[in-house]
Structure 1
Amino acid sequence: MSPDLHFILFLLLRMAIAAAFVVTASIITERAGPVIGALVATLPVSAGPSYVFLALDHDAAFIAQGALASLPINAATIFMCLTYVVLAQRHSLLVSCGSAVAIWIALASIMRQFAWPLTAGLAANLIAFAICIPLLAGYRHVKMPLVTRRWYDVPMRAALVATLVAIVVSTSGWVGPRISGIIALYPVVFTSIMVILHPRIGGPPTAAVLANSAWGLLGFGMAIAVMHVGAANSGSAIGLSMGLATCIVWNLTLWWNGRRKRLAAAS
């Protein structure tokens, strides 16, 4: 088998694996309601596979540097969510989603101009979430209507994440860890939720999923920081495992705390 054919086949396999993760997570999001759906959406179902595939091609230093570049981008994502949530109450998908994506691109473009040490990246996240979480709180409690899936939903989600993985993997060798870390953190899951659910059930219920994602996204930022520290000190496998474990423990804690509050209110 020629090297080019081997690369193409391996790339297609990576794209298929990543697409399967995102499709599964987004289907759960539709069926479980905005709270559980938000917790699933903030698991590393898109960035995780991208970083795993980067780790197969590059050393631990590359992963650690990529995580440093990803950390402030998580702050850009929460501002993207806030933009969509506010606009989706009254405006169309094109205006709401288009503006949100434009905000993410603009902030990511600004952030890539600087070298972000760990402390600065954490500070950016803390400031961003301190601003956005209170502003999103009033949009969280909306009943999720029944969603009727259409034939193109799954292929579109799969195509979105597969394209992202293809870009990250195929360009990482010449764009370097900083740009790879930024691209890997593009919020594919959130974008697909906007594009698929907004025309189907309306802006406010779709916005509720993103509004409920704020606390989970904060944990995702911490997981990126943990991944950086783990990869820098113990290698890629340890770093990636520590980051995933941080996400899972954080989201399970959020779920348990929410369930405890509901039970207390019911009694």
Structure 2
Amino acid sequence: MSPDLHFILLLVLRMAVAAAFVVSASIITERSGPVIGALIATLPISAGPSYTFLALDHDAAFIAEGALSSLPVNAATIFMGLTYAVLAQRFSMSISAGSAIALWLVLGTIIRQFAWTLAGGLILNAIAFAICIPLLKPYRHVAKMPLIARRWYDIPLRAALVASLVGTVVTASTWVGPRVTGVIALFPIVFSSMMLILHPRIGGPATAAVLANSAWGLLGFGLGIAVLHIAVLHFGSPIGLCCALATCIAWNLALWQLGRRKAKA
């Protein structure tokens, strides 16, 4: 087998694995309601497979530096969610989602210009979430959440988007280096697919409620990225990836338990 064919087959396999992962997560999300669905959506559904496959091709230093670049991008994602939530109350999907994604691209481009430290990334996230979480609070609830009826192309579309992201990240990582790879790996595929799929079906306010409920989960995702950077440097990529995933899961489980206590109270 030629090296080129081997690379292509391996890349397709990795993309298929990522697609299978997002399909499973999507099914669970749609059956769990907006609050639990938001917590599941903020797990590393797209970034996780990307970093896992990057770890197979690159050393721990590459993964650690990539995570360092990904951390401030998480702040861009919460601003993207806020932008969509505000615009979706009055405007169409194309305007709301288009503006939100465009803002993310602009912020991601700006973030890429700087060499970030762990402290700098954490401070940027703290500022971003301190601003956005209170502003998102009015959009977390709607009078009535419409029943979501899945269309045949919904899950294939999400799977294709995540598979394309994984393929792009893995293929381009050798050429663009860890800093740009870390930015690309955190492109908000899950949030973008929610906007494109849910907005035409359940309306902007209801879709905005799902994204607004994701704010606290997204904060935990940022902590997971920070843990990834630290753990990879000290224990290597496999343990670092496991620690990052465990952080995200533990954070979201804590949010779920807190939500249950508030509901009972």
| TM-score grouping bracket, smaller chain normalisation | over 0.9
Provide the residue aligned with 1:191 in structure 2.
Answer: 192
Amino acid at match of 1:73: V
Runs of 4+ off more than 4 Å: none
Shift of residue 61 of structure 1? 0.2
Contact kept? 1:72, 1:111, Cα under 8 Å: yes
Q: How does 1:86-165 map to 2 (within 5 A)?
A: 86-142=86-142, 143-165=144-166
Amino acid at match of 1:180: T
Provide the residue aligned with 2:254 in structure 1.
Answer: 253
Extract unaligned runs of 5+ from structure 2: none
Amino acid at match of 2:46: S
Q: Does 1:51 align with 2:83?
A: no
Residue by residue over 1:77-106, the C-alpha shift from the partner in whole angstroms, topping out at 9 and shown as x without a partner, is 000000001000111000000000000000
Contact kept? 2:136, 2:212, Cα under 8 Å: yes
Amino acid at match of 1:59: D
Shift of residue 149 of structure 1? 1.4
In the superposition, the TM-score normalised over structure 2's length comes to 0.98
Contact kept? 1:82, 1:136, Cα under 8 Å: yes
Residue by residue over 1:136-175, the C-alpha shift from the partner in whole angstroms, topping out at 9 and shown as x without a partner, is 0111112421111112112211111111001000010110
The 2-side partners of 1:5 and 1:119 are apart by 43
Give RMSD over aligned pairs.
0.8
Provide the residue aligned with 2:34 in structure 1.
Answer: 34
The 2-side partners of 1:171 and 1:242 are apart by 26
Extract unaligned runs of 5+ from structure 1: none
Contact kept? 1:26, 1:189, Cα under 8 Å: no
Residue by residue over 1:216-252, the C-alpha shift from the partner in whole angstroms, topping out at 9 and shown as x without a partner, is 0000000100000000111111111110000000000
The 2-side partners of 1:141 and 1:27 are apart by 22
Amino acid at match of 2:13: L
The 1-side partners of 2:194 and 2:26 are apart by 7
**Larger deviation: 76-85 or 1-10?**
1-10
Count, aligned residues: 264
In the superposition, the TM-score normalised over structure 1's length comes to 0.97
The 1-side partners of 2:208 and 2:129 are apart by 17
Shift of residue 24 of structure 1? 2.1
Q: Does 1:205 align with 2:206?
A: yes
Provide the residue aligned with 1:2 in structure 2.
Answer: 2
Provide the residue aligned with 1:220 in structure 2.
Answer: 221
Provide the residue aligned with 1:63 in structure 2.
Answer: 63
Give the secondary structure class of the aligned counterpart of 1:114. Answer: coil
Provide the residue aligned with 2:176 in structure 1.
Answer: 175
Contact kept? 2:26, 2:155, Cα under 8 Å: no
Give the secondary structure class of the aligned counterpart of 1:94. Answer: helix
Shift of residue 34 of structure 1? 1.3
